[in-house]
Amino acid sequence: MKNNIAADSYFLDTLKLCNRIVMAPLTRRRCGNMGIPDELNALHYAQRASAGLIIAEATNVSAYKGYSDTPGLFTNEQIEGWKKVTEAVHQREGKIFVQLWHTGRYAHPDLLPEGYHTVAPSSLIFDGEINTPSGYQKLPLPKQLSLIEIKKTVDDFAQASLNAKLAGFDGIEIHAANGYLIDQFLSDGTNIRTDNYGGSVENRFRFLQEILLKCIQIWGENRVGVRLSPSGIKNGMSDSNPAVHFAEFISYLNQFPLAYLHLIEPLLSVDHLTHYPAKVSEYFRRFYKGTLIANGGFQPQDSNKIISELKADLLAFGKYFISNPDLPERIFNNLPLTPYDLNTFYGGDKKGYTDYQFYNNTKQ
């Protein structure tokens, strides 16, 4: 079958992907209070190793976290836990990056270590709720990060980047999307600073720029990716003109030897908003010269058409990979898809995590 993205190999520089289907990062909250991946996590990712590239779930770069039972990469125990995952994936000849994450103002003191405060680029509250050990609670007014704290956070990303290398990953993705800390710096609706990290587009990009410079120094060329959600309004995000501002951010990214740019289509409708492109990958493709991963709301059966129309290089799927561990085979052979169970997405055990069947009725 010609031009089938489930069969066409693709190179990220010297890293060969067996196809152009990517497993998107998926928070599943199955790593316990200490954020240490175990054998169950390793099996979950190994089952999906036929993806051209796996991007492992959002992983905390420090003890600061916005969700319970999410993994980290800031302790030796976490590094050892992730080694189980990367070794399991590599044994099946898969490739795996990890997404590095700081949730910023989307965090509650009940989830933070003693002495930590909820922080953000600016002291602007998101009028939403977050799930804590005591149930859903209102998010607090965040503390504006000081310049010293910004530097410390950049260093946290760098250390987690190094730890990812020690854990055996093939690369990393910087999570700069979906209303979390880096996205909060980029958007002028959440960043009203008056110093070198706020105001102009160039200044709002500075935090991400400093993280990239350190992480690329650790990993080298073509092993660091970036995820953006230019038209994202999730988690109370807003920007005065994302069509223009994110075009500039993306143009800046051309200065870095990235592995790829990963763009997310709107998770919530933006049809009622001006200056918010409804078709993100299609609109922003013109501004980026490197490898582009498109993600969000696409149907696996339409993969080849989507790649052709969007002019994306790789196509990422999230929910469909949850219930179809052999998704590339199903796309290639046009096989029916197993529906996913929303009730088992977050937390729990193997149910809805490692017990989905392959099409040939095996589990592993």
352 burial level (CB within 10 Å; 0-12, 13-18, 19+):
buried
Sign of torsion over alpha carbons 140, 152, 247, 225: negative
Has residue 360 been placed in a domain?
no
Has residue 350 been placed in a domain?
no
pLDDT in tens, the chain (364 residues): 345 888 899 999 999 999 999 999 999 999 999 999 999 999 999 999 999 999 999 999 999 999 999 999 999 999 999 999 999 999 999 999 999 999 999 999 999 999 899 999 999 999 999 988 888 999 999 999 999 999 999 999 999 999 999 999 999 999 999 999 999 999 999 999 999 999 999 999 999 999 999 999 999 999 999 999 999 999 999 999 999 999 999 999 999 999 999 999 999 999 999 999 999 999 999 999 999 999 998 999 888 888 888 789 999 999 999 999 999 999 999 999 999 999 999 999 999 999 999 998 754 5
**Domain extent at residue 73:** 10-344
DSSP-based three-state secondary structure for 119: strand
Residue 324 vs residues 1, 30, 45, 353, 359: alpha-carbon distances, Å: 21, 19, 12, 11, 8
Helices 147-166 and 201-219 meet at what angle, rounded to 10?
Answer: 30
Please state the φ and ψ torsions of residue 11, each to the nearest 5 degrees.
-110, 125
Q: How many CB atoms lie within 10 A of CB 280?
A: 25
Has residue 332 been placed in a domain?
yes
- Point out the catalytic residue in the list 180, 197, 353, 356: 180
Has residue 37 been placed in a domain?
yes
DSSP-based three-state secondary structure for 226: strand
- Enter the DSSP assignment of 223: -
Residue 260 vs residues 155, 222, 305: alpha-carbon distances, Å: 22, 7, 21
- CATH number for the domain that contains residue 81: 3.20.20.70
Which pLDDT tens digit goes with each residue over 292-316?
A: 999 998 999 888 888 888 789 999 9
Number of domains present in the structure of the chain: 1
Asked if residue 231 lies in contact with residue 270, where contact means CB atoms within 8 angstroms, the answer is yes
Whole-angstrom Cα distance, residue 190 to residue 234?
A: 12
Whole-angstrom Cα distance, residue 159 to residue 176?
A: 17
Strand partners, 176: 228
Whole-angstrom Cα distance, residue 235 to residue 179?
A: 5
Q: Which contacts (CB < 8 Å, 24+ apart) does range 112-118 have? A: 112/63, 112/64, 112/65, 113/63, 113/64, 116/63, 116/64, 117/142, 117/143, 118/142, 118/143
CA angle 307/173/191 to nearest 5° reads: 100
Asked if residue 193 lies in contact with residue 144, where contact means CB atoms within 8 angstroms, the answer is yes
Which pLDDT tens digit goes with each residue over 87-114?
A: 999 999 999 999 999 999 999 999 999 9
pLDDT of residue 3: 58
Residue 5 vs residues 10, 88, 89, 258, 302: alpha-carbon distances, Å: 9, 24, 21, 22, 10
Find, among 37, 77, 88, the residue nearest to 58 by Cα: 37
Has residue 84 been placed in a domain?
yes
Asked if residue 59 lies in contact with residue 26, where contact means CB atoms within 8 angstroms, the answer is no
Has residue 17 been placed in a domain?
yes
Strand partners, 225: 173, 260
Query: 0.95 exceeded by the pTM?
Result: yes
| Catalytic residue flag (residue 116) | no
Asked if residue 283 lies in contact with residue 309, where contact means CB atoms within 8 angstroms, the answer is no
Has residue 2 been placed in a domain?
no
Whole-angstrom Cα distance, residue 354 to residue 44?
A: 5
pLDDT of residue 362: 54
Whole-angstrom Cα distance, residue 10 to residue 21?
A: 10
Residue 239 vs residues 153, 157, 233, 264: alpha-carbon distances, Å: 23, 25, 9, 16
Whole-angstrom Cα distance, residue 85 to residue 97?
A: 11
Whole-angstrom Cα distance, residue 209 to residue 215?
A: 10
Has residue 95 been placed in a domain?
yes
Find, among 257, 235, 231, the residue nearest to 246 by Cα: 231
